[in-house]
Amino acid sequence: MKNESFLFFKTPESFYKFLDSLDIYNNWKITKGTMNSRGESIRNKGYTKFLRERFNNKKMFRRSVSISEIVSWLDSFVIMRRFFKKLHSSITVEEFNNIELYCEYMIKMSKKMRIDFILKYKNTILLIEFRMVNNFTKIKSTWDKKKVELLVYKELLENYIPTETRILTFAFISLFEYDGRNIEDIQLNYNNNQVDFLVKYFTEFVVKKYKNNEK
């Protein structure tokens, strides 16, 4: 799976170090607006160039990465960091350090379909798709669409993933947390509640499930 992914992290700690090396996350915020408009302010930033070059150098994708996609990565990186920080207190250190993270995994023989994130723990992989919407009314319809996509990805993976591997799916629909420089408390709380739910989902259905099966 590592070779088919844009980014791979052996542990959550290596993910933290990668984010810190980009040197942007004290300032990066999930803000209101289209991905393209938000991307204009970072188009020539060093971290943008680094991510674009790394993506293009993989030579496993059909086109160059767009600025809107880079913005989407940055948003999802923020959410994933928040997830790992909360997960760390819910499971043991050994369990936490056994989690691998794959970003933009390309499914084999799928016309280059890509999964946003895959979390791997022991014999289980969790497929995660992200999408940000600008208001609460779009959450349900967007979640429905993403869930269908995830089920397609799961079916395609089952063609070649070892049969003993469990495949779970999670659609994460987020809202913008800032309107300009002003924090939007309701949207931020919603996102944090979704992170908490993902932590509980992963703890119960991945980590504890494996532990119970080992007894």
In this predicted structure, what is the pLDDT of residue 23? Answer: 83
Identify the pLDDT of residue 124: 98
Instruction: In whole angstroms, give the CA distance from residue 18 to residue 121.
Output: 20
**CB of 81 closer than 8 Å to CB of 121:** no
CA distance 187 to 53: 33
Quick one: pLDDT at residue 178?
Answer: 96
| Residue ranges with strand state E in 143-181 | 166-175, 178-179
Kindly state the greatest CA–CA separation across the chain: 53
Q: Given phi > 0 = left and psi -120 to 50 = alpha, else beta, which region is 128?
A: beta
* Residue 129, CA distances (Å) to 41, 72, 155, 164, 212 in order: 25, 11, 15, 23, 27
pLDDT for 215:
66
pLDDT tens digits, one per residue of 9-52: 999 999 999 999 998 756 789 999 999 999 998 999 999 999 99
Residues whose CB falls within 8 Å of the CB of residue 139, separated by 6 or more in sequence, listed in order: 133, 173, 175
Helices (H) then strands (E): counts for the chain: 8, 7
Residue range 120-148, pLDDT digits in tens: 999 999 999 999 999 999 999 999 999 99
- What is the pLDDT, as a whole number, of residue 59? 75
What is residue 17's predicted lDDT score, i.e. its pLDDT?
95
